[in-house]
Amino acid sequence: MTTIPNRRSRLRGGLLGLLIGDALGVPYEFHDAASIPPPAAIDMTPPPGFARAHDGVPPGTWSDDGAQALALLDALLREHALNLDTFAGNLLDWFHRGAFTPDGRVFDVGLQTQRAFHALAAGAAPAAAGPGDERDNGNGSLMRCFPVVMVAASRDDAIRLARKQSVVTHGHVRSQLCCALYCLTALGIVDGQSAPDAVRTAEDELLARHEGTADEIELKIVLDGRFDALQGSGYVVDSFWSAIHCLLSTDSYEDCVKRAIALGNDTDTTAAIAGSLAGVVYGERALPARWVATLRGKDKVEGWLAKL
């Protein structure tokens, strides 16, 4: 008999699932799908002979995805709200001093995120720091926004927080809407919906909310992304739908994140997004014990989880 995870297990599973998916995907980043090892060989340590990315990074180390998610969680928990000055300060603490990492080492920083940090250094307000052109729709704000699901008081609150956290590094409305769609989907699963129903409900809710508004066209671009060929790329719309595909086409956490990595390209981020959702679906106890044991920095993570 399958035990249905409770809310605590789903939320812990979501955060740990993000961090494990990120760490699992790190060695395979920048490789195309054809060069990714078969699923049975995908692990924290790649098979012999594989030209791993980020050579020298120990197995089980999360990258920018996990660090920024923890930076967001810390900001949300510290003030029981989202103060963008606090969040931006956390991000800069990570970038300059290695905060929110297992070992103080910073690697794999996105281009749009770096531009936002330069804007902050030049005096930009956090709400205006994120590049906002159409070409600036990388996945850097989507990959980190699971903590919104952990603290949101309502679905409306989740939409507001998802969009607000995005603008610090990714200001375009398309990125904001992807974050909102993701958070509503995850919240639906936490509240007991099946994953397919949670996706549909999130879509319908955003469509109704934005009908006749300036954001409606951008939302339809986001939703139409389901029909594009999945690439596991750094484009925020592709990242979201790649993760959803991996979630809906598998029946375990392990298979979900391995399928995300099999897409190639931005493997750590696709696996982080898919892994957070799979962690919510299956709960903390479904995370593979060998990967939980390999994950570095767990004591730090437990410190934040204890504050929930």
- Detail the residues annotated as belonging to a binding site for Mg(2+): 63-65, 266, 268-269
Q: Is 108 a residue whose pLDDT tops 90? A: no
CATH at residue 221 = 1.10.4080.10
* 214 falls within a domain: yes
Tokens linked to 85: 């000055």
> Of 232, 261, 300, 222, which Cα lies nearest the Cα of 66?
300
d(CA 69, CA 85): 16
- Detail the residues annotated as belonging to a binding site: 63-65, 266, 268-269
Residues 161-219 have pLDDT tens digits of: 999 999 999 999 999 999 999 999 999 999 999 999 999 999 999 999 999 999 999 99
* 2 falls within a domain: no
* 139 falls within a domain: yes
* 1 falls within a domain: no
Distance between the two ends of the chain, CA-based, in angstroms?
30
d(CA 89, CA 94): 9
Please give the mean pLDDT across all residues of the chain.
Answer: 97
DSSP 8-class letter at 286: G
* Threshold 0.85, pTM exceeds: yes
The domain in which residue 194 lies consists of 7-46+59-305
* 290 falls within a domain: yes
d(CA 77, CA 278): 23
* 147 falls within a domain: yes
Sign of CA dihedral 192, 193, 199, 205: negative
d(CA 190, CA 198): 9
> Of 193, 84, 66, which Cα lies nearest the Cα of 130?
84
Sign of CA dihedral 161, 304, 199, 3: negative
* 52 falls within a domain: no
* 169 falls within a domain: yes
Q: Is 1 a residue whose pLDDT tops 70? A: no
Question: Number of folded domains in the chain?
Answer: 1
Residue 196 is predicted with a pLDDT of 98
Distances (CA, A) of 229 to 66, 136, 233, 242, 245: 26, 20, 11, 9, 11
Distances (CA, A) of 252 to 20, 153, 204, 288: 14, 29, 27, 10
